[in-house]
Amino acid sequence: MGTSPALLLLLTLGFCEYGHGLSLEIKLRTPKDISQLRVGQRLELECHTDKESGAFWIHQDRRGNLHFIVFISSISRATFEGNQKTSTRFEARKERVFYYLAVKSFTPQDEGNYFCVMLYNQMLYFSPGQPALLPVTTTVAPTTHGPTPKSDTTEEPNLQTPDPERRMQEDLNFFCHIFIWVPLAGACLLLLAALVITIVLCQRTRRRRCRCKR
């Protein structure tokens, strides 16, 4: 190819069709279960067509941006981004009407949808997208252990740290008791003293009256 496949792709976007008139089908080769995809694993995709006019592989990342990966010609010549013949991340080949793309070592950067695209009769046909996503990691809740068996040694209740609110309430109750009972006790003492004085005075008055009668 004399021109860049990415440039050819952009020039023909105005003549796009989505899977009408041409059969493009993507199948997984490895892994067999896409939900078991792991970082560092090899991912191989197979695009089956009914024509031999060459095919593009395009990656749509998780943000929705399209990235050209490779163009595989009808004579099995692969041209990667930047007109490179090889890629450090991808491999591509053609066998009859099958176009293969392999992600050598899958990373989070490779997550998204993969499309097989074919230019035929000046029309650009897209296959249905093949999603390839890493499993979502879930945070495991800490395991709740059962009650620990009591040891033979009994803990002293005084060693436990008191609750601040409870301690404050106890202090308030203590001061309330002081303000209530101290005046009450004082009043009781005054009444008792007054009673003693009254009794003493009454006894003296009786003695005087008794002396006067004699």
Task: Flag whether 17 is in a domain.
Answer: no
Q: Cα(133)–Cα(38) distance, rounded to whole angstroms?
A: 9
Give the pTM: 0.56
pLDDT at 179 over 90: no
Task: Flag whether 173 is in a domain.
Answer: yes
Note whether 130 and 206 are same-domain residues: no
What H or E segment, with its residue span, contains residue 109? none
Task: Flag whether 47 is in a domain.
Answer: yes
Tell which wins on pLDDT, 202 or 160. 202
Which tens digit of pLDDT belongs to each residue from 108-125? 999 999 999 988 888 888
Query: Token digits for 87?
Result: 């890629």
pLDDT at 18: 47
Note whether 33 and 122 are same-domain residues: yes
Note whether 117 and 199 are same-domain residues: no
Q: Cα(185)–Cα(74) distance, rounded to whole angstroms?
A: 111
Mean pLDDT, range 98-107, rounded to an integer:
95
Q: Cα(79)–Cα(5) distance, rounded to whole angstroms?
A: 7
Note whether 37 and 114 are same-domain residues: yes
Note whether 40 and 102 are same-domain residues: yes
The domain of 180 spans 165-213
pLDDT at 176 over 80: no
Amino acid at 192: L
**pLDDT grade for 22, boundaries at 50, 70 and 90:** low
Mean pLDDT, range 36-51, rounded to an integer:
90
pLDDT at 7: 43
**pLDDT grade for 177, boundaries at 50, 70 and 90:** low
Task: Flag whether 146 is in a domain.
Answer: no
Note whether 130 and 172 are same-domain residues: no
Which tens digit of pLDDT belongs to each residue from 144-163? 666 665 555 554 544 455 55
Q: Residue 121 sits in a domain of what CATH number? A: 2.60.40.10
**pLDDT grade for 13, boundaries at 50, 70 and 90:** very low
Alpha helices in the chain (DSSP H): 5-11, 164-213
Q: Which of 89, 113, 135 is the last residue of a domain?
A: 135
Note whether 42 and 127 are same-domain residues: yes
Q: How many folded domains does the chain comprise?
A: 2
Q: What SS3 string covers 19-48?
A: CCCCCEEEEEEECCCHHHCCCCCCEEEEEE
Q: What is the DSSP letter of 122?
A: T
